[in-house]
C-alpha cells in the first residue's frame, strides 16, 4: 500500500529518512527518477541515506509505475519520492492508489531562480511547473506543502493562489 508520494528535489535525505519514513511507518521507499536509476553512484548514495533495514528501490519513472501497480506491492507499506512535478503527475495519472501528495522541497536548489516565484520556503516554481501542479491538484488527490511531519499542513491549492 502506498502511504505518500513526495516531491523532494533531494530525493532521500535526513528529512525523508528520519522524519517521513518513520512517521509513515513504511518498510519500503521507491525513488522514481530516470537519472538516479541510471547512475550507480547516485543509487548507492540514496540507499546509504535511507534508514537501516529499509527496502529501497530506485527505478525509472516508467518502471516505478509498473512496480507500484504490481499486486505484490500491496503487501508493502511504501513511500514514493520523485524530484519534480512532471514525474509526480505521470505517477498520479498512472497509479490509482496514491492517497496524497506532499511537496517537501522543490525549486530551491540548483535551479535558475530568475524565472521562479517563491510560494513557500520549500516551493519555488515557474509558470510551466505551476500548471503541472494544478493538473496534479485536479486529479482530486489531496495535495499539501510541508517540509517536516511536524509542520502544519498547507494545501497546495491555497499556496498556488
- β-partners of residue 120 are 123
Catalytic residue among 4, 11, 13, 19: 13
**In this structure, is the dihedral angle defined by the CA atoms of residues 75, 67, 32 and 5, taken in order, positive or negative?**
negative
Q: What residue has cell string 541510471?
A: 38
Grid cell for residue 36: 538516479
Q: Is 56 a catalytic residue?
A: no
The 3-state DSSP class for residue 104 equals strand
Query: 92 exposed, middle or buried (CB, 10 Å; 0-12, 13-18, 19+)?
Result: buried
Distance CA 40, CA 146 (A): 30
Active-site amino acid positions: 13
Amino acid at each position: 500500500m502506498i502511504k505518500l508520494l513526495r516531491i523532494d528535489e533531494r530525493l532521500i535525505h535526513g528529512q525523508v529518512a528520519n522524519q517521513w519514513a518513520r512517521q509513515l511507518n513504511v518498510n519500503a521507499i521507491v525513488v522514481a527518477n530516470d537519472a538516479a536509476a541510471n547512475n550507480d553512484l547516485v543509487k548507492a548514495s540514496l540507499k546509504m541515506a535511507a534508514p537501516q533495514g529499509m527496502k529501497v528501490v530506485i527505478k525509472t519513472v516508467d518502471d516505478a509505475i509498473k512496480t507500484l501497480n504490481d499486486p505484490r506491492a500491496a503487501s508493502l507499506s511504501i513511500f514514493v519520492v520523485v524530484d519534480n512535478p512532471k514525474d509526480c503527475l505521470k505517477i498520479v495519472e498512472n497509479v490509482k492508489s496514491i492517497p496524497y501528495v506532499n511537496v517537501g522541497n522543490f525549486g530551491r536548489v540548483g535551479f535558475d531562480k530568475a524565472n521562479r516565484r517563491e510560494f513557500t520556503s520549500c516551493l519555488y516554481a515557474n509558470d510551466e511547473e505551476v500548471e503541472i501542479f494544478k493538473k496534479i491538484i485536479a486529479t482530486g488527490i489531496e495535495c499539501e506543502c510541508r517540509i517536516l511531519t511536524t509542520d502544519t499542513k498547507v494545501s497546495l491549492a491555497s499556496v498556488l493562489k
